[in-house]
C-alpha cells in the first residue's frame, strides 16, 4: 500500500484568523449614539434584501462579543479581522467621536488581546454613514476627506493596541455594486457616479493611510483588502483577450493601478470616455493615493470567465454579483460573462482553488516584496443541524482544504503570504441575500442566536493550532 501523504505545513509565524464586518454581525443599530448607515437605509427599503431582512439585530455581537471571543480562542484562532462601524464612531461622518462607540471597540480589542488573539481592524466595510450619502456619498470628493478624519480618530484611539490595519474592504463593491448596478447600498444606478466613487475611494485609501500613520506607532502596518478578479478568456481569440483586458482594468487596475503604481491603467480612460471625462482626478491625487503599503489583503471566492459579446449574449449577466438590469461594468457593454464550469457553492460561485494561486502569484509579480494576506476566502452552503444539534459541513472542509493547499503552493512558488482569514467566523447578515446564505464556520440559530461550531470550525481550528493541513483524504472523511 502507498505511504500516507505527509501533512502540508505552513510557516511558523503564519496567522490563522477569521473575518467579520460590523453591519453583518453587531446589531445594536440604535444604541450608544449610532446613527443609520447606508446599509440600514437600504435594508429597510422594501424589496432591496431577501425577505426584507435587515441587520438591526444581526447576530447581536455587540452584546455577545465576550462569548464570541472566547469561542475564537477555544477554536485556536491566532487573529481576528473585524470592521469598525463608522456611524457608531462618528454619527454624522464628521466631527468629534462618540466615546461610547469607541469604547465598544476598545473593549473588544482588550478581550481579544487577553485571549492571545491578534486584532486586525478594517476601517471601512461598506457602511457609509447615511449623513455622508445624503451629502453625495462616495462620488463626492469630500467623502474621502471625511474618511481621513475618521481614520485619524480611530488610529489615535486604538493604534496603541492594534498593529494590523486595513483601510478599505473591497472598494470595487462599494463603487460598482453600490453606485453602478445598485445591488448594494446605497442602491444607485449611475455609471458615471460609480467611476467617480472609485476614484474617491482610492483617494480615501491614500489619505486614510497617511492619517493612520500620523496617529499610530511606526510598528503598525497599513494595508487594503481588494477583491481582485481572476479574469480568464472563454477562448484564446484576440476578441476574447481584449474582453479580459477591459474587465481586468475595471475589476483590478482601477484600484491597484493608483494604489500600487501611482497611475490608472492604460486604456481605462479611453474605454470609459463615453461615460466620464475623469476631470475629478486632480493634480496631486495620484501621489496622495500611492502611499507605500506594508501589506496587501486579497479576497478571493471564484474566477471570472469572459468573452467578446455576441448576439446570443443577451439575458441575465452571470458575473456572480447579483441580478440587476444595470451593469457594474461601465463601458464594457461589449463583454459577455460566462458561468465557469465545476461544482458550485450556494452562491452559485464555481469552486476553483487554482484561481487563488493565480491571484497570489499575480500580486507577487505586481508588487514584489509586498507581504500578502488572504483577508477573505470561504464558501456558503445550506448548513443544517442534525437531530443531535451538530452541524456537519464536509463540503466546506473540502473547500478550505483545496484553497489552503493553493496558498501553500503559492508560498512554495515564492509568494510571501503571511496569513489567512476565513470568511466568515459565523453565519451572519449576508447583505442583499439576507440570512439565507451561510458562510460561517460557526452555525447561528437566528431564532435564539445560539452559536454552534460546525465540523469545519473544529477542522480549521486544528489546522490553526498545528500549522499544517491533514491529507485530503482526512478532510473528505470529516
Query: What pLDDT is attached to residue 5?
Result: 60
**Residue 97 and residue 402: Cα distance in Å, rounded?**
43
Provide the grid cell at 120. 486586525
Helix, strand or coil, per DSSP, at residue 100 = helix
In 3-state terms, the chain is what percent helix, strand and coil (to 5)?
A: 40, 15, 45
Query: What pLDDT is attached to residue 1?
Result: 41
CA angle 374, 379, 381 (to 5 degrees): 165
Residues β-bridged to residue 37: 129
Q: Which residues are CB-contacts of 177 (< 8 A; sequence separation ≥ 6)? A: 183, 184, 321, 322, 328
Q: For 210-236, b where at least 16 C-beta lie within 10 A, e where not — what string?
A: bbbbebbeeebbbbbbbbbbbbbbbee
pLDDT at 233 over 70: yes
**Catalytic entry in 170, 266, 388, 395:** 170
pTM of the model as a whole: 0.97
Query: pLDDT digits over 43-59, tens only?
Result: 999 999 999 999 999 99
Query: What pLDDT is attached to residue 473?
Result: 56
Query: What pLDDT is attached to residue 478?
Result: 44
170 carries an active-site annotation: yes
Query: pLDDT digits over 377-431, tens only?
Result: 999 999 999 999 999 999 999 999 999 999 999 999 999 999 999 999 999 999 9
Query: pLDDT digits over 290-310, tens only?
Result: 999 999 999 999 999 999 998
Segment 197-215 mean pLDDT: 99
pLDDT at 315 over 80: no
Query: What pLDDT is attached to residue 464?
Result: 98
85 neighbors 101 (Cβ within 8 angstroms): yes
440 neighbors 394 (Cβ within 8 angstroms): no
**Catalytic entry in 376, 395, 430, 462:** 376
Confidence of residue 7 (pLDDT cuts 50, 70, 90): confident
Confidence of residue 312 (pLDDT cuts 50, 70, 90): low
Q: Which long-range contacts (CB under 8 A, 24 or more apart) does 47-50 make?
A: 48/187, 48/432, 49/431, 49/432, 49/433, 49/434, 50/432, 50/433, 50/434, 50/435, 50/436
Residue written as grid cell 490563522: 16
Query: pLDDT digits over 153-178, tens only?
Result: 999 999 999 999 999 999 999 999 99
Amino acid at each position: 500500500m502507498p505511504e500516507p501523504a505527509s501533512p502540508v505545513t505552513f510557516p511558523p509565524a503564519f496567522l490563522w484568523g477569521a473575518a467579520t464586518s460590523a453591519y453583518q454581525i453587531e446589531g445594536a443599530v440604535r444604541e450608544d449614539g449610532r446613527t443609520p448607515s447606508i446599509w440600514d437605509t437600504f435594508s429597510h427599503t422594501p424589496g432591496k434584501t431577501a425577505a426584507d431582512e435587515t441587520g438591526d439585530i444581526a447576530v447581536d455581537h455587540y452584546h455577545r462579543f465576550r462569548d464570541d471571543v472566547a469561542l475564537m480562542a477555544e477554536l485556536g484562532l491566532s487573529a481576528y479581522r473585524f470592521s469598525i462601524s463608522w456611524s457608531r464612531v462618528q454619527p454624522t461622518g464628521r466631527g468629534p467621536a462618540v466615546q461610547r462607540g469607541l469604547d465598544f471597540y476598545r473593549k473588544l480589542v482588550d478581550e481579544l488581546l487577553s485571549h492571545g488573539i491578534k486584532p486586525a481592524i478594517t476601517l471601512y466595510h461598506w457602511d457609509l454613514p447615511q449623513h455622508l450619502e445624503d451629502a453625495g456619498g462616495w462620488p463626492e470628493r469630500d467623502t474621502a476627506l471625511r474618511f481621513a478624519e475618521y481614520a485619524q480618530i480611530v488610529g489615535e484611539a486604538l493604534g496603541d493596541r492594534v498593529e494590523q490595519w486595513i483601510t478599505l474592504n473591497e472598494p470595487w463593491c462599494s463603487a460598482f455594486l453600490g453606485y453602478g448596478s445598485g445591488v448594494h447600498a446605497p442602491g444607485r444606478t449611475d455609471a458615471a457616479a460609480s467611476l467617480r466613487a472609485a476614484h474617491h475611494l482610492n483617494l480615501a485609501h491614500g489619505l486614510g493611510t497617511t492619517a493612520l500613520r500620523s496617529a499610530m506607532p511606526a510598528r503598525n502596518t497599513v494595508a487594503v483588502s481588494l477583491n481582485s478578479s481572476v479574469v480568464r478568456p472563454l477562448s484564446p481569440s484576440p476578441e476574447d483577450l481584449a474582453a479580459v483586458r477591459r474587465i481586468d482594468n475595471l475589476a483590478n487596475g482601477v484600484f491597484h493601478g493608483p494604489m500600487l503604481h501611482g497611475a490608472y491603467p492604460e486604456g481605462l480612460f479611453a474605454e470609459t470616455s463615453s461615460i466620464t471625462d475623469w476631470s475629478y482626478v486632480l493634480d496631486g491625487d495620484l501621489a496622495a493615493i500611492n502611499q507605500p503599503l506594508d501589506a496587501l489583503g486579497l479576497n478571493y471566492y471564484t474566477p471570472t470567465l469572459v468573452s467578446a459579446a455576441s448576439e446570443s449574449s443577451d439575458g441575465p449577466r452571470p458575473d456572480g454579483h447579483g441580478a440587476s438590469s444595470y451593469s457594474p461594468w461601465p463601458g464594457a457593454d461589449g463583454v459577455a460573462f460566462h458561468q465557469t464550469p465545476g461544482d458550485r457553492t450556494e452562491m452559485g460561485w464555481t469552486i476553483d482553488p487554482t484561481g487563488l494561486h493565480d491571484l497570489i502569484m499575480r500580486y507577487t509579480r505586481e508588487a514584489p516584496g509586498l507581504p500578502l494576506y488572504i483577508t477573505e476566502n470561504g464558501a456558503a452552503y445550506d448548513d443544517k443541524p442534525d437531530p443531535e444539534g451538530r452541524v456537519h459541513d464536509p463540503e466546506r472542509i473540502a473547500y478550505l482544504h483545496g484553497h489552503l493547499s493553493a496558498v501553500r503552493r503559492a508560498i512554495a512558488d515564492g509568494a510571501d503570504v503571511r496569513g489567512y482569514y476565513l470568511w466568515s467566523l459565523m453565519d451572519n447578515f449576508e447583505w442583499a441575500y439576507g440570512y439565507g446564505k451561510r458562510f460561517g464556520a460557526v452555525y447561528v440559530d437566528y431564532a435564539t442566536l445560539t452559536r454552534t461550531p460546525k465540523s469545519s470550525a473544529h477542522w480549521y481550528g486544528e489546522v490553526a493550532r498545528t500549522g499544517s493541513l491533514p491529507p485530503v483524504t482526512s478532510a473528505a472523511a470529516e
